[in-house]
Structure 1
């Protein structure tokens, strides 16, 4: 504490705490952005699409944060934390966009609650209300598991964001343009580690093969179209994920070829995440992620 200020942080900021995590004046992430829904586009459909992409990023981010202090060395620990933060930033913008397009998607909270819509969507929905793919939610395994999961997820997401940067929705286009730079790094990090594990020891290769066998079938959900995606793709707002398959296969094929890893057989079947059907793992993840917010629903952070 300081004699002149309420806390040492006040001394550092001149009394403006808005930039600090303990501040209570966080700005609307879409402040100053044109959030008008494109003509001819349904508000409910746009909100649903933003929830799909936002939930993918949010749940994947949460799984990656569980790796804090567990990675093989400090550099990789920090790398995974930074990937998680990138995805969390994308999730915040996409969930805020969902609520701006259709305020009814956000859970109802007590009148006067300080919780912004994007936080309400993150912390006050139950598992059946989430729209993320199963690949993002399954429980963590070993280091090879996180490498394979991130490689599959980021390869598909990068192909999506590259196309989504031309979206007729200005918010989605802006989020995608920034996300391309971030997810390019995520994919490259995972690709380098995939090669390292594949050509490392017998044990590292065994674990990589086991992770690929488990996670490969879950890729299908990221490259299979949902009716909402098809409707918005026709309107120039969304991307048909089925159109991503060739690019995803090409990138992964290069990684497999260089690493000497055979492409897994079969394609898998899409899970039910886009319609709120999830594995038991999601409920446990949400119990941890939402516990503080639900215990203090009127809290300011």
Structure 2
């Protein structure tokens, strides 16, 4: 079963992160592409959060500790390579989750969108990994920084680990990049988002997302 609050929060936070690239992407084409990825995730967030309650209240009137998104999606955009790697790792998971629940209306629609998201991330990961020395260095650094956060994705969905490993491992081989060998770290550092224990990065993101609504609570167009 898809948890509407956890996955809805994932999609909302990642949509907001991707929206941060608008007017800042490396090219106009990627500016448009990232905006579209953000809108896909925002639509999924709305559909899921509306199952959990009032979508506006849940998006705009909760404090960081009340959010249940995984830590991976709240990590900063960083450079373009970091954004690509984060998207590869998370959407690889979300695609498998949706594919496992074809009876769910949001999943049935979302899996088609996520197929494009995964392919977008795969194409760029390969391009960066097999590109210049600098692009390879940045992509490798992003993998090392973000990989430890992936364990949290499978705390409640262990069956998705194998297909995720197969997909992500295949992309990394195609990109001529190694799977990071990151030693175990304290659980409180790498997990806990599902239980409301977040990194320092979530509060500023939510402040930006919620500013207008909180300043004019109850206002209507």
Task: Place the TM-score, normalised by the shorter chain, in its bin.
Answer: over 0.9
Counterpart for residue 77 of structure 1: 31
Structure 1 CA distance, aligned partners of 2:173 and 2:30?
Answer: 24
What corresponds to 1:186 in structure 2?
117
Q: Name the counterpart of 2:47.
A: 93
Q: 2:198 maps to which residue?
A: 278
State the match for 1:292 in structure 2: 212
Tell me the CA shift for residue 165 of structure 1. 2.0
Shift of the alpha carbon at 1:49? Answer: 2.3
Unaligned runs of 5+ in 2: none
* TM-superposed deviation, 1:191: 0.4
| Bigger CA radius of gyration | 1
TM-score by length of 2: 0.95
SS at match of 1:280: coil
Report the Cα distance in structure 1 between the residues aligned to 2:18 and 2:180, rounded to whole angstroms. 24
Residue correspondences, number: 217
Matching of residue 246 in structure 1 with residue 183 in structure 2:
no
Across the aligned residues of Structure 1 and Structure 2, the Cα RMSD in angstroms comes to 1.4
Q: TM (normalized to structure 1)?
A: 0.70
Query: Within 5 A, what are the aligned runs for 1:54-65?
Result: 54-65=8-19
> Equivalent residue of 1:188, what SS?
helix
Whichever structure has more helix as a proportion of its residues is: 2
> After superposition, what is the alpha-carbon deviation per residue over 1:48-88, rounded to whole angstroms, capped at 9, x for unaligned?
92100100000000000001011111111111000000000
| 8 Å contact from structure 1 (residues 165, 176) kept in 2 | yes
Asked which structure has the greater RCO (Cα within 8 Å, sep 6+), the reply is 2
What is the match of residue 255 of structure 1? 171
**Alpha-carbon deviations, 1:147-203, whole Å to 9, x = none?**
00000010000000001223xxxxxx0000000000110010000000000111101
Tell me if 1:222 matches 2:138.
Answer: no
